[in-house]
Chain A
């Protein structure tokens, strides 16, 4: 017994040391500091923004088939056939029609070529064909759109300088992304950056008008097919302005190589940009041909941001001034650098917690935990006397293991997680109560102290096992289905319960055995 007891004590001390290390690490500086370094706090405690986004992946499918329609029309030009998407509800279906009878085999050859392997091709009679994008292909495109969106958002978020952001797929629904930004509590700005597709283009200006009606008056035959009418976004809040622009962009979003926020000679924020070599050539040709006479409009997300006269030929470097604020200039150049999202995005859920509220929650949680702990510790001492010390030690060790595990695993402590800690205190003591009550019963039956401890633990064990398993089952289900803070609760509760089996059964038993071994066999008495 003696040797066994020694090795058990050694094991307990080792566990104690390991988990204390888990909580504090090797303390450098203050204890509080090292605690903060080890325990990973959830957004609700340290403040931050939690977003759930949905990527409209159908748009990516749509633009993929759009490109194929364009390519098909070129490839089929010689055969007289045309490709088109007729049903807006089914963007995955392309219809081929009008091919001359003599060209059937040529058409068929194009459609079944390697480039269109992603489609199922079927004849609709009369020389027409129906091409349907295969389901697996649709999935691939959707998957890719989601991945690209995650990458793009991550790049944009990284430049915000957020530490430890989380950007990942989210399991609740289809095509959802979870974004967590610790320490960022202005969701408005975050949403602007993530959401804006930042389609920035430079168009030639055909005319400008004070209102839509005025534009229509000036063009009685309607807006020409190769032009479009866009509203000017007047940052200074001046009168509305409408511009008629050439539809085909001189410089498109993909032509930008780099963009940086800077300031102009008057100290106003603006954006300097670099174009790719090819776009630079094109831009040079255009500006050279129209210098002195033409006007260019800088269009951001289908709004005219700025109109400027062409004063000289520009090659691959330019600047955009458009009454930006410093933040806007920084955000916009960021978007130009990182490229656009493959599909638009909508917001399903936004949660923001300010840092002061988080700090207050920690404070309240700690106060509640300590109050609960003190109540339980005192009661156990009072009600079970000597054995109460036993239970109290087990309980404190339970908390050490719980917090230490949080430190080791990097699991996140949330506010409901703190509630889980408090519940662990309450439910953890249940095991001690079960055992002690059972030992008392055995003593009442006239058993010796050693036998009562032996039988008390043995009888209580089945119950403790069953109750812990059922609670862990419910906690596991919470973990599987829960989100964010609720998950944190499930984590602390589960770890607390598992640690409890160790402390309330193994540790507490060791202490009993130690106390009994100190006394003469048969004469030992328990303080319980």
Chain B
């Protein structure tokens, strides 16, 4: 069986649609980030206390809130976790307290206060505390800084590698594409108001690597075709390269998507954010290799041709000779 045996699609002819599509999602994400939900961050970055409590039977959130209020615990949010596992894994609530409960000096107070409040005021069923995350203001700042640095350095590392293996413009195009993916993925988290945790940042960095993967496959083919044929217009050559790799792109991305989907469905609540980032990211990452990175190469070439003196032919971005 073979799909896309001889695909002959004019991808670059659709560049305005692609641009529109990317803009809609990026702008929607940005609007949500700046004017609506912001970037919803979990305790990892914001600081605070998050307590995952498992109840013996389906919990009544109102009663939990009453118990917390009776113990004079303010600003607590109570959030139900829906776990497909159900049964013993269901009946969980995350009780989060804001940062003021997790100061570096009175670190553990929030947790014990919540435990005591539930023991004293919640009588519907027994409960066990399953997970506690307390992040003080200092640690929150350090973790945020660390996540920013990691993202920045991995983009920079890839730019340098592509510069070395191809040409600067390839690196720039790939990094722009990856940045586009990151922006849209974070935008999705903002639009759906899901918390970004440390593991979600790990997922986003993975997605950076994955999207880069996809882009390189197309770029590699462009480089190969350029070595074979220097007469063609770049746009035609890029189109051909995308079509030649289309079968691989769809199958490989599709399979990775399926494994990540398995993770999203079966992986449980703890990995929900992580797998959500990858589910969104793999679709966007595959799309961006075709719709952002490759057209950027062509746009750069057109821009250089326009700038060059009339009649002078502009050299194609040949990339380095393929060593084989």
Contact = CB atoms under 8 A, between A and B. Distances in A.
Contact of B131 (A352, A371, A426, A473): A352
B103 to A, nearest CB: 9
B262 A481 contact: no
Interface string A241-261: 000000000000000000000
Contacts of A470: 158, 161-162, 209, 212-213, 216
Interface in B258-307: 258-260, 262-263, 265-268, 270-271, 274-275, 278
Contact of A469 (B108, B161, B244, B268): B161
Interface in B60-114: 85, 88-89, 104-105, 107-108, 111-112
Contact of A426 (B112, B150, B256, B266): B256
Contact of B52 (A357, A372, A375, A425): A357
B135 interface: yes
A477 B205 contact: yes
Given A350-B107, A351-B133, A471-B213, A422 B252 contact: no
Given A364-B267, A415-B271, A470-B212, A422 B324 contact: no
Interface string B130-159: 111111101100110011011001100110
B158 A187 contact: no
Contacts of B131: 351-354, 357
Interface stretch (A119-127, A430-438, A508-516): A430-438
A354 B154 contact: no
B212 A360 contact: no
Interface in A462-478: 462-463, 466-467, 469-471, 473-475, 477-478
Contacts of B205: 474, 477-478
B255 A44 contact: no
Contact of A191 (B107, B149, B162, B220): B107
Nearest to A357: B130
Nearest to B250: A433
Contact of A365 (B132, B146, B199, B267): B267
B130 A354 contact: yes
Interface band, chain B: 35 or more
A172 to B, nearest CB: 5
A471 B209 contact: yes
Nearest to B258: A375
A368 B269 CA distance: 12
B99 to A, nearest CB: 13
A265 interface: no
Contact of B263 (A419, A458, A485): A419
Given A188-B112, A348-B138, A441-B244, A434 B217 contact: yes
Interface string B199-243: 101110110111011001100110010000000000000000000
Nearest to B84: A364
Interface in A359-403: 360-361, 364-365, 367-369, 371-373, 375-376, 379, 382-383
Given A347-B104, A382-B1, A478-B150, A485 B199 contact: yes
A528 to B, nearest CB: 10
B108 A188 contact: yes
A520 interface: no
Interface in A440-492: 440-441, 458-459, 461-463, 466-467, 469-471, 473-475, 477-478, 480-483, 485-486, 489-490
Contact of A416 (B112, B135, B162, B199): B199
A343 interface: no
A416 B201 CA distance: 11
B255 A433 contact: yes
Given A352-B131, A489-B202, 19 more contacts: A187-B134, A191-B107, A191-B108, A348-B107, A348-B139, A350-B132, A350-B134, A419-B203, A422-B260, A426-B258, A440-B2, A462-B322, A467-B217, A470-B212, A473-B154, A478-B205, A481-B153, A483-B198, A486-B202
9 contacts: A191-B107, A350-B134, A351-B134, A354-B128, A365-B271, A419-B203, A425-B259, A474-B208, A481-B147
